[in-house]
Every structure is written in structure tokens, then in C-alpha cells.
Amino acid sequence: MTLVLEQWQDVPQNCGRPIPGVGHQNPRVMDLSQRATTADQQRIELAMDALVSPGSRLLHIGVGNSSLALRWCDRDLAIIGLTVNEREMAHANDLQLNGYRTFLANKYSTDLDAISGPFDFIVDNNPASFGCCVEHFEKMLTNYARLLHPQGLMVTDRRGMYWCYENGPMRLRFEDLQTIAETYPFCVQRLTDDVFALQRTS
């Protein structure tokens, strides 16, 4: 599949990086283990509160301070957290929350091939923010489609979609989610004015 987004004219199709993505070595943006939960992450969690039920399976991309797992740790969920930062993983594991496991994995690479679904929800506040090229972004989308239950949701936020590492070019708008849904087995939902979801359709 080839994804064409109008504002990504300066994004390479294939970056050739052995480790895809950008910003891996910058702890200021990659280690959020001891920082307050961002406003957009809070909005995502609030929007999902009524949707998450006992037995749900969640995949959280970029665990940060593990606020999502802490919020729902008493709901009998299975939560898999992924991060590229060892400090975030250590912090998450130190919490010893029931049903919560974290792994080091890069969402733009083949690392997600080893993750077993299906999941009812994938939470990714910054789907393209650390992206390096269209090909690796498409790899992530293919994995998300594979990992979601039919009718499962990939949930994100307007602010996280539009923010880019070092003001890079890979911003996303709501309209871009609609274009993605034309290429992949998704439809688009507005959960709130700021929180959006790609829902797996088949």
C-alpha cells in the first residue's frame, strides 16, 4: 500500500535507516517516566474511561509515566506497554501492576511483528511525530491493523498528532486520518473534539 498525504511532500518514501524513527537518543522527549501526564494523554484517558471494561486488552505505545496503566489497574485489564526508553520500561516494571507488562519495542520497525494481538484498543498519542519516512509509518499502520480486533480502536489526540520532533514534517490532521482510512481497513471516529480513533472495520 502507498499512502499519499498532501502535506508530506518533503517526507522521504524510504529513509534507509536501520533503526527507524527519530529522536531515540534525546532523553528530554523520550524519557517521560518522571514527568507529569501531558494534557493530550489526559484527554485520551478521559475519552476512553467509559469504553474500557473488564477483560479489555490494550496496547499502549509510548508508556511515559504509565498513567494509563495506573488509571485502570483495578479494572481487570490486560495492558501491554511499549517504549523505546529503558527508564520508562524500568519505571513501569517497578510499579508491579497486575495485568501490566512492558517491552522495549520500536513501533516503526518489525519489532511489532512479535507482539500478539488482538487488542481492543491501541493508544498512540504521537503516531507520526517521531516518524522518519512514509514506508516505516505504513509499517506501523499495517501492524496496528493486524493487532486490532475487528471494531477495535486506535486512539490518538489532535495535539499529539500535530506535534513533531524538532518541528519535523510528519504532522497529521483529522483529514489525514480519513485518507488513511481509505487505504487501510479503518474508519474514523471523533470521540471528543480533540480525541480521534481509527476503528478496524474487518
Q: How far is CA 190 from CA 138, 147, 155, 178, in A?
A: 22, 21, 10, 11
Paired residues of 200 in beta bridges: 186
Residues 121-157 pLDDT 10s: 999 999 999 999 999 999 999 999 999 999 999 999 9
In whole angstroms, give the CA distance from residue 141 to residue 183.
Answer: 10
Indicate the SS3 state at residue 177. helix
Residues 15-51 pLDDT 10s: 999 999 999 989 889 999 999 999 999 999 999 999 9
> Residue range 160-171: average pLDDT?
95
For the chain, the average pLDDT equals: 95
Please provide the DSSP assignment of 4-38 as one string. Answer: --TT-TTS-S----SS-SS-TT-HHHH--TTSPPP
Confidence of residue 1 (pLDDT cuts 50, 70, 90): low
pLDDT of the residue at 4: 85
Q: How far is CA 102 from the centre of its chain?
A: 14
**Do residues 22 and 164 touch, judged by C-beta distance below 8 A?**
no
Half-sphere exposure of 60 (CA within 13 A, CB side): 28
